[in-house]
Amino acid sequence: MKTRDVVIFTGKHFKVPSGIQRIDHRATHGWQLRYGGTKLFSDGSQDGTGAAASLKLATEELFKRIAKLPAPSRLQREPSENKSTDLPVGISGPVVRLRPGAKVRECNLLVSLPRFGAVPRRSTIYIGNENTYTEQRYRRALARAIKLREEAEEAYQREATRAKRAGAQVMIAKQQARRSASAR
């Protein structure tokens, strides 16, 4: 899990995990958790003395939410406004092309298959050639393309959640090691 250094208004430095933001505005001082909704963990003082305790509470709540909630997805859910077809996100076509050496053109749908931590794969779903193309074959190919895309999105979401939870576990282990070392 990524962390960053944050310096609060008192000059004190903190290592803060992603998903937690510092709020210092007029009479409000605390850490805001932004993961599965927002929650403010107030310092309880105007001088910033409670910042470490409130960060600890915010971090514990972040770890609870990561363990319970799926990871936020960066996949596009709705088609772009300028998409000229009414096909779902990640599916384009039908693409008509004449392969070298072929006598008839063929028709395909292109499906973008997202992969977590890797470049998306592109899959081609064959509909038919200009002699065999029918509306029924198009609908069957579209259903297959939608199913492929949904399966890829589910796998992406599973992998993103698994990676997020693994990152949180590493951070928890580091915190526990620091606590046990400082207790000696």
Average pLDDT of the segment spanning 100-111 = 94
pLDDT of residue 155: 96
pLDDT of residue 26: 85
Report the predicted TM-score, pTM, of the whole model to 2 decimal places: 0.80
pLDDT at 183 over 80: no
Higher per-residue pLDDT: 7 or 178: 7
pLDDT tens digits for 60-77? 999 999 999 998 888 888
Domain boundaries, the chain: 3-69, 80-184
pLDDT of residue 83: 84
The CB-side HSE value for 94 (13 A sphere, CA atoms) comes to 21
| Residue-by-residue DSSP string for the chain | --EEEEE-TTS-EEEEETTEEEEEETTEEEEEEESSSEEEEE-SSSSSTTHHHHHHHHHHHHHHHHHHSPPPP-S--S--TT-SS-PPTTEEEEEEE--TT-SS-EEEEEEEEEETTEEEEEEEEEEEETTT--HHHHHHHHHHHHHHHHHHHHHHHHHHHHHHHHHHHHHHHHHHHHHHHHH-
pLDDT tens digits for 17-52? 999 999 998 888 999 999 999 999 999 888 889 999
143: confidence class by pLDDT, cuts 50, 70, 90: very high
